[in-house]
């Protein structure tokens, strides 16, 4: 049965039930069913694999709200067997969290090959499906994802939830790592926590790319001014405190640049220790949702001159929570 629950580890505390009542119409395949979502933890601090749903069919507020509650707790949710088309992925992201981020950094380098800037091309191929040459400038954005970051921290509003759909998975490991920035914050000592209060950080994508040796023209830099965000955030729904760091974090406002960069480096080192990191090994049609306010992530390297790897990302903007129940 297509919509039956598949629970691979029985963990009653983690199971949530929802009766699908309000749906988009009588024909809705989930109407009248009780859906059981099982959240199976993937790491001691955060990240869970969820079973029981085909997200393309999820339209009702009860289920969407349950998934948001799961995000509050776990920060990263992994779904298997979600064969999204581009349009279905865009539609789900909007249903789930409202306004999509469409001002991506790669837009300054050229047109999006899907004709929609809200669908970020996380791949190593061009519009005809051929692997990009090592010196192709379009590769800059993908390869820079190998630095720890949060999506769109160089914008205001920044990214809230990112959703990555695996369309072509190479036959070698080409994984993504996530770090729990709430657990990293909690592990700081009280003096350090006190010293971080009130600090603000300037985030710039031109900076993070320059760290790797990529240069932008003046015209490109003018379009990529960056944004300022607090170094420690309180996530509104969960009220958890979190370190808000990224490769884009360029300097601490009102501090001498070297001191600020040294503190940012120390915090990055602290926050990415193995006890805070979950490594995701991709399968075809995986769909991973993460909260950019609660986590950092990075792509791990693989031979991208040999193997195709194609994922598509949708990211929502961190606007006030109109839709979130
Ligand atoms: O390619 C990856 O593994 C991660 C890509 C990434 O950083 C993103 O989609 O935001
Ligand atoms: Fe990213």
- Ligand 2 centre and the CA of 162: distance in Å? 8
Ligand nearest to C-alpha 143? 1
Residue 5: pLDDT band with limits 50, 70, 90: very low
User: What does the pLDDT average to over 98-124?
Assistant: 83
Is the distance from the beta carbon of residue 50 to the nearest atom of ligand 1 less than 6 Å?
no
- Ligand 1 centre and the CA of 147: distance in Å? 10
User: What does the pLDDT average to over 291-299?
Assistant: 98
Per the document, the length of the chain is 325
CATH classification of 12-317, choosing from 3.40.1620.10, 1.10.1370.40, 3.40.630.10, 3.60.130.10? Answer: 3.60.130.10
How much is the pLDDT for 168?
Answer: 97
Q: Which ligand 1 atom is nearest residue 282's CA?
A: 3
Residue 314 has pLDDT above 60, yes or no: yes
User: What does the pLDDT average to over 280-300?
Assistant: 98
- Ligand 2 centre and the CA of 61: distance in Å? 27
CB 316 within 8 A of CB 90: no
How much is the pLDDT for 108?
Answer: 59
Q: What rounded mean pLDDT belongs to the chain?
A: 88
Of 65, 64, 74, 63, which Cα lies nearest the Cα of 39?
A: 74
Residue 9: pLDDT band with limits 50, 70, 90: very low
Residue 100 has pLDDT above 50, yes or no: yes
Residue 179 has pLDDT above 80, yes or no: yes
Distance CA 91, CA 80 (A): 18
Distance CA 3, CA 73 (A): 24
How much is the pLDDT for 30?
Answer: 53
Of 86, 221, 267, 76, which Cα lies nearest the Cα of 165?
A: 86
CB 159 within 8 A of CB 150: yes
The torsion angles phi and psi of 184, rounded to 5 degrees, stand at: -65, -40
User: What does the pLDDT average to over 78-82?
Assistant: 98
Kindly give, in sequence order, each residue whose CB lies less than 8 Å from that of residue 240, ignoring residues fewer than 6 positions away.
182, 234, 294
How much is the pLDDT for 197?
Answer: 98
Residue 37: pLDDT band with limits 50, 70, 90: confident
Residue 184 has pLDDT above 90, yes or no: yes
Kindly give, in sequence order, each residue whose CB lies less than 8 Å from that of residue 106, ignoring residues fewer than 6 positions away.
112, 120, 121, 138, 141
From atom 1 of ligand 1, which residue's Cα is the shortest distance away?
299
Of 160, 198, 194, which Cα lies nearest the Cα of 320?
A: 160
93, 105, 122, 290: residue to mutate for ligand 1 pocket, most atoms within 8 A of CB: 122
Give the DSSP per-residue string, 146-193: TS-B-TTTTSSS-EEEEEEEEEE--SS---EEEEEHHHHHHTS-HHHH
Q: Which two tokens stand for residue 262?
A: 């040294």
How much is the pLDDT for 17?
Answer: 52
pTM confidence score: 0.90
User: What does the pLDDT average to over 185-206?
Assistant: 97
Is the distance from the beta carbon of residue 141 to the nearest atom of ligand 1 less than 6 Å?
no
- Ligand 2 centre and the CA of 10: distance in Å? 32
The torsion angles phi and psi of 163, rounded to 5 degrees, stand at: -130, 120
- Ligand 1 centre and the CA of 144: distance in Å? 9
Domain residue spans of the chain = 12-317
Residue 4 has pLDDT above 80, yes or no: no
Beta bridge partner(s), residue 305: none
Share of the chain above pLDDT 90, in %: 75
| DSSP-assigned letter for residue 91 | H
Residue 219: pLDDT band with limits 50, 70, 90: confident
Distance CA 254, CA 108 (A): 29
């Amino acid at each position: 049965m297509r919509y039956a629950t598949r629970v691979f580890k029985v963990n009653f505390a983690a199971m949530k039930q929802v009766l699908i009542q309000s749906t988009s119409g009588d024909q809705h395949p989930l109407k009248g069913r009780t859906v059981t979502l099982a959240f199976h933890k993937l790491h001691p601090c955060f990240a869970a694999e969820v079973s029981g749903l085909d997200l393309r069919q999820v339209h009702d507020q009860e289920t969407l709200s349950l998934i948001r509650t799961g995000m509050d707790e776990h920060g990263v949710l992994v779904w298997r067997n979600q064969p999204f088309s581009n349009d279905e992925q865009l539609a789900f992201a909007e249903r789930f969290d409202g306004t999509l981020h469409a001002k991506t950094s790669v837009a300054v380098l050229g047109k999006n090959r899907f004709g929609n800037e809200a669908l970020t091309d996380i791949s190593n191929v061009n519009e005809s499906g051929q692997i990009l040459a090592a010196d192709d400038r379009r590769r800059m954005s993908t390869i820079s994802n190998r630095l720890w970051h949060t999506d769109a921290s160089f914008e205001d509003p920044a990214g809230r939830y990112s959703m990555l759909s695996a369309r072509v998975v190479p036959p070698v490991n080409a994984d993504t790592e996530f770090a729990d920035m709430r657990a990293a914050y909690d592990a700081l000592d009280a003096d350090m926590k006190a010293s971080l209060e009130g600090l603000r950080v300037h985030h710039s994508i031109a900076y993070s790319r320059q760290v790797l040796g990529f240069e932008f023209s003046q015209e490109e830099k003018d379009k990529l001014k960056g944004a300022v965000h607090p170094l420690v955030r309180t996530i509104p729904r969960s009220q958890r405190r979190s370190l808000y760091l990224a490769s884009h974090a360029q300097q601490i406002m009102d501090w001498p640049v070297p001191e600020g960069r040294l503190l940012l480096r120390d915090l990055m080192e602290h926050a990415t220790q193995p006890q805070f990191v979950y490594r995701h090994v991709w399968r075809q049609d995986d769909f991973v949702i993460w909260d950019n306010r609660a986590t950092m992530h990075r792509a791990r390297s693989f031979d991208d001159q040999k193997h195709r790897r194609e994922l598509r990302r949708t990211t929502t903007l961190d606007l006030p929570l109109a839709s979130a129940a």
